Structure 1
């Protein structure tokens, strides 16, 4: 039981490090400082740094999903749920659940460039997000909230990729403007496809 708690503690304390500094930028010294544990205590609970980073990413994504789900679940209609999801991402730009911004975006960049072992995990998260958005759109079509000819999957990709692009731009520019423009556009699209 104590080992499981220690393992979880390490994951929670190192998640912001990996999300802020990346895999290569996060040193053992950083992990020791964040956890106040020794090298032996850290690596006594994990095979290697790769496992810690992988578990930290999964923890980060679970936090993001929980917060997003709480916003979506508070809305009633499928359209309101999509608007709530957009609102979550808009607030997420400068107040992310995990320090360092979007863990999916940050890890995807590393997985594409050199952490190829993480690629499968990241692709699964990306696909799950697209499926979730497409599911809300599909339910909205079935509930006659949206027009029947809406291609839910294509629109889900469009919304998600636009929002993630806005996350990058807004964080680097330190401006809400890109995200505000993208969210407004997505809301306008939802209004246009509404019945």
Structure 2
């Protein structure tokens, strides 16, 4: 075999190696881009005209009052797996600023009082119960899964609470939403809104 043939064979082998490396890089980059493009994207929302409403029921205990809910949807291409929603902080709001409360966070239920993780498919809207105010008596009725003795003092507060809500899932970034709820002890005057950023 002459030198030209050997050199051509060596160049061909090197080209095949380089081509394989480039193809591997491009394939990995494409896979990464495809996963990024198809990822789930959770979105928490609150609409004061739709998510604050009067409700009454007897299953699971009697209730007659006003319910505050937050909606959750997946705006991505694939399902968000094992999704749960939490209130991560609760602060009292004043004209001069905010004051932390002793609350340290808790999961809140899906509408219907269910805490099991859910798969959130694209295009389907789920709701979580944030808080309740009874018409039968004063005081906040929180929907926290974990109830602590130190949270009891929070129920008698009159004023505005800011709920920091977080939706989490195994396979996507968390999404956060702040909801302000103002309650002066009279359920007729209950107001809720998303604060301006």
TM-score normalised according to structure 2 size? 0.28
Relative contact order higher in (CA < 8 Å, ≥ 6 apart): 2
Higher percent of residues as strand: 2
Larger Rg: 2
TM-score normalised according to structure 1 size? 0.28
Higher percent of residues as helix: 1
